[in-house]
Structure 1
C-alpha cells in the first residue's frame, strides 16, 4: 500500500465519521431553525403525519413528500402574530392528548380511515385550542401545496367545460 492510498482512505473514514451522526437525527430538535416557535422532533413528526393525512400521497405527491409540515412551521413562525404562535404551540401540544382521549391511541398509530374520520370530527369539537390549531395547519398546508413547485409545474392545468374560443375554426 502506498502513502497516497492510505491518506485517501483515512480521509474517507474521517469524513464518514463526521457525517454519520447527521444521518441519525436524534437531537430532539426541529429540522428547520425557528425563531419564535419551540418545536421538538416528536411534535414535528406528528405535524408531518397530520399534513400527510390532509393531503395524502397517491399517484401525486403527498404532504409529507413535499415537506409541507416544514412550510406550515415556517409560515406560522414568520407570518402569524405572537398570539397565533402561542395558540399553535398550545394546540399542537394538546392535539396528541386530545387524540389519545378520543380514540385511545396515538395519532401516529391510527389507520388512515380512522385519521380521516377523526379530522372530520374536529369540526364539531368544543376544544378551541385543537380546533384553532387544526384550522391554521389545514390552511397553511393547502397554501403550501397549491404554491409548491410540484403543483405549479407538474400537474396538468384544468380547462373549463366550454373550452377556448377559436374564432378561426374552419367548418367542413
Structure 2
C-alpha cells in the first residue's frame, strides 16, 4: 500500500482530511522543529497503549505489536507543523487529565475496559469539536464572502483526532497491519483484476 492509498483509507475511516497528509505524501520534510520528548521511552509506551486501546489484538495483532507509538513520534516530529506539534504534546497531558477526572487515575494505571470507556468519550468529543469547527468555518467564510483579503482564522486541531489518525495510518502501513490485518500478496506478482469476494474477507493491502 502506498502513502497516498493509506492516507485515503484513513481519511475515509475518519470522515475528514488527515492532518499532516501533505508532508507525509511528499516524504515528511516539513522543516518543523524537533520534539525530542516524544521519543522518551515512557512517552512511546504511553502512545503505544493509547493506540492499542484503539486497535487492540483480536484475530490479528494490535497496534502495540506494530510499535505504532514510535510511528506517532516520528510523524509528529517530521510531518506536523509547530502548531500541531504543540497541540499533540499538550494532548498527552490532557488525556491523562481526562483519565484522572473520569477514573481518578492516570491512563497507564487504568484497566483495559476503563481505557476503552475513556477513549470512547474522547472520540465523541473530537467528533463534536470537528463538527463545530467546520460549521464555524463555513459561517465565517459566508460572512466574509467576496472580501479579497479575507483569511480564514486558524483553529487548532483536536489532539485525539491526531492520535486516532496516526494509529490507523501507522498500523495499516506497518508490516503487521498489512500482512496480518489486511490481505497481502507480495508485489510484483501476478495481477488478477477480477478476484472473487466473499463476505467477511479482509481488505487488500496490495
CA drift at 1:108: 1.4
The C-alpha deviation readout for 1:103-140, integer Å capped at 9, x for no partner, is: 111211211111111111114449x7xx8221101101
1:91 is aligned to 2:91: yes
CA distance in 2, matches of 1:125, 1:55: 19
Q: Equivalents in 1 of 2:196, 2:84: separation in Å?
A: 38
For 2:160, the equivalent position in structure 1 comes to 134
Q: CA RMSD in A?
A: 2.8
Higher relative contact order (CA 8 A, sep 6+): 2
TM-score of the pair, normalised by structure 2: 0.54
Q: Equivalent residue of 1:56, what SS?
A: coil
Provide Cα deviations, 1:69-125, integer angstroms capped at 9, x if missing partner: 000110111111110001111111222122112211121121111111111111444
Which position in structure 1 is the counterpart of 2:173? 147
Structure 1 residues 66 and 123: CA distance shift in structure 2, 3 A? closer
SS in 2 for 1:35: coil
* Unaligned segments of structure 1, at least 5 residues: 1-33, 163-172
Q: Secondary structure at the match of 1:58?
A: coil
Q: Which residue of 2 aligns with 1:36?
A: 35
**Which has the higher Rg, Structure 1 or Structure 2?**
1
Gaps of 5+ in 2: 1-32, 130-156, 184-194, 200-206
